Amino acid sequence: MGHGHDHGSSLTGRLLLLSVAITVAFVAGEAVTGYFSNSLALLSDAGHNFADALALVLSWYGLWIGQRPSSAKRTYGHHRVGILIALINALSLVLIAFLIFWEAISRFRHPEPVQSTPMIVVAFIAILLNTVISLWLRKAAKKDLNVRSAYMHMLGDAISAAGVVVAGFIVAFTHTSIADPIVSVLIGLLILWSSWDVLKESVNVLLEATPKGLDISIVETTINDIEGVLAVHDLHVWTVGSGMIACSCHIAVEEQSVRSGENVLR
């Protein structure tokens, strides 16, 4: 079981590093194109893509350090690092969204001409790259909150790139640049929406809240129903890291033999 988990983490780590290389190369080209085409939507998408690259690096680091063994100083190991990174990734998305809103307000007040063709071409490439990377990370994202934060970055950027394509066509056919900041605002809203779930879950884990989808009353009832158990006190269930749920409680039992006590514990 442990070997399979390590192999899966190693494979996901390699995919993350490959995704970083592809994303950084694309960001450079997209930022230059956005600057010369004067497209805020394209520059916003480049900024989002740059945050994606950072998110991928952080997620890779979280996977790597999470495999380090526990020690006397860190008895749970480094699994919580991945949760901290998920929180950082989610907060970075929120920051990017508000920066986009700020610049979009400026464009609404002072519209600037935009070149539509570079917008459309580069955004189509962005859709392709981000979709491919999202598919790479999709399976691991179901099990790991850290990887899910990176996955949400890439998926959100694929959708925002589609918005840039729409803005590009509107600018091309209507010869009005107002579509550019409008789509930028929509991209910002999408970023906020995509970051909310990861932000909420990572905060809940750090606050040691009851794991999502777990009913603590059912846990307590199940323990009470075990033969030999009289009462349950101080029941706590929390998440250490992705896929690691811990539980502690005090159980009052009937007077019994050591073997019977071990059965209750089991």
Q: What is the pLDDT at residue 221?
A: 92
Could you give the dihedral angle defined by the CA atoms of residues 139, 143, 144 and 150, in that order, rounded to the nearest 10 degrees?
A: 30
Alpha-carbon distance 56 to 59, whole Å? 5
Q: What is the pLDDT at residue 218?
A: 92
Per-residue pLDDT of the chain (266 residues; tens, 9 = 90+): 344 445 455 666 777 778 778 878 888 888 888 888 777 777 777 776 777 777 777 777 776 776 777 777 777 677 777 778 778 878 887 887 888 888 788 878 877 777 778 778 888 888 888 888 888 777 777 777 667 777 777 777 787 778 778 888 888 888 777 877 888 788 788 778 877 877 888 888 888 888 888 899 999 999 999 888 889 999 999 888 766 788 899 999 888 888 888 888 88
Enter the CATH code of domain 2-206.
1.20.1510.10
Q: What is the pLDDT at residue 1?
A: 38
- List, by residue range, all CATH 1.20.1510.10 domains of the chain: 2-206
Q: How many CA atoms lie within 13 A of 185 on its CB side?
A: 11
Task: Give the list of residues 6+ apart from residue 169 with CB closer than 8 angstroms, or none.
Answer: 116, 120
The owner of tokens 């159980």 is 251
Q: What is the pLDDT at residue 5?
A: 46
Alpha-carbon distance 142 to 243, whole Å? 10
Q: What is the pLDDT at residue 8?
A: 52
Q: What is the pLDDT at residue 220?
A: 92
Q: Coil, strand, or helix at residue 71?
A: coil
pTM exceeds 0.85, yes or no:
no
Burial 2-36 (b: 16+ CB within 10 A, else e): eeeeeeebeebbebbeebbebbbebbeebbebbee
Task: Give the list of residues 6+ apart from residue 2 with CB closer than 8 angstroms, or none.
Answer: none
Q: What is the pLDDT at residue 26?
A: 81
Q: What is the pLDDT at residue 169?
A: 86
